[in-house]
A and B are shown apart, each in its own frame.
Chain A
Amino acid sequence: KAGVTQTPRYLIKTRGQQVTLSCSPISGHRSVSWYQQTPGQGLQFLFEYFSETQRNKGNFPGRFSGRQFSNSRSEMNVSTLELGDSALYLCASTLQQGGVNNEQFFGPGTRLTVL
């Protein structure tokens, strides 16, 4: 079974631009979560989608948004990019929403550099 895939793997953008990242979960998984990893702030939860609805949200500005499609694939969008948005963006998929035993499977990440 294929793992979580993220595209693109690397992106370079300039300040003020917007960017869209894509995540394809493991086949059959219905929940997708997004995390931002930076040297200064570490790994932080962005949001979670299940059945095309945002179920959980982290403490990020409204410039960060996402969506999920009927096939469970998810995209996240960052508008008006700032230098501080440079980070590794990780996507994780889970079989079900909620539940303490749900293991999250992570993709390799998209490395975003904002110049």
Chain B
Amino acid sequence: AQSVTQLDSHVSVSEGTPVLLRCNYSSSYSPSLFWYVQHPNKGLQLLLKYTSAATLVKGINGFEAEFKKSETSFHLTKPSAHMSDAAEYFCVVSDKGSGGYNKLIFGAGTRLAVHP
């Protein structure tokens, strides 16, 4: 069965410093991995996705993630945090449900706080 583990429930950074949100996955086959962001009282927005085309994936708002098969990791990074990055971030794996790949398995989430 597919699963993801987000290693930190809370991360706090200062504005302008790098962001690292950690995610490990477990998969019985080559996974599709995603990072979604959820701002307060908003729906989920896709930041980036890995579907085996390239191990370094660039997303929106300056975020990127690197797929490392040997470490079963898919960590999310950003060189310089902005106040608007404060939100909850979810690492997600796509599961092969009976009807195809549309079943998403979410990690527990990492709440990112950005301080001035």
B63 within 8 A of A: no
Asked if B99 is an interface residue, CB under 8 A from chain A, the answer is: yes
Q: Is the pair B51, A48 in contact by a Cβ cutoff of 8 Å?
A: no
Known A-B contacts A43-B90, A103-B46, A108-B43; the reply to A97 vs B102 at CB < 8 A is yes
CB distance from B107 to the nearest CB of A (A): 8
B73 beta carbon closer than 8 Å to chain A:
no
The verdict on A98 contacting chain B, using a C-beta distance below 8 Å, is: yes
Once bound together, how far apart are the Cα atoms of A33 and B94, in whole Å?
13
Asked if A106 meets B99 with Cβ closer than 8 Å, knowing A43-B90, A45-B104, the reply is: no
B55 → A minimal CB distance (Å): 16
Identify which of A11-19, A50-58, A78-86 touches chain B: A50-58
Given contacts A45-B105, A100-B51, contact A55 B100 (CB under 8 A): yes
Q: Is the CB of A55 within 8 A of B44?
A: no
In the complex the two chains form, what is the Cα distance from A114 to B29 in whole Å? 40
* Contact across chains for B102 and A106 when beta carbons are under 8 A apart: no
- The interface of chain B, by Cβ under 8 A from chain A, is 32, 36, 41-46, 49, 51, 90, 94, 97-109
22 contacts between A and B (CB under 8 A): A4-B43, A33-B102, A35-B104, A42-B107, A43-B104, A45-B103, A45-B104, A48-B99, A48-B103, A55-B98, A55-B102, A56-B98, A56-B103, A98-B102, A99-B100, A99-B101, A100-B51, A100-B101, A103-B46, A106-B36, A107-B43, A109-B43
Binding site for B on A (CB under 8 A): 4, 31, 33, 35, 42-45, 48, 50, 55-58, 90, 92, 94, 97-109
Q: A33-B104, A56-B97, A108-B41 are in contact. List 14 more A-B contacts (CB 8 A).
A: A4-B43, A33-B103, A35-B104, A43-B106, A44-B106, A55-B100, A55-B102, A90-B44, A98-B101, A99-B101, A101-B51, A104-B102, A104-B104, A106-B44
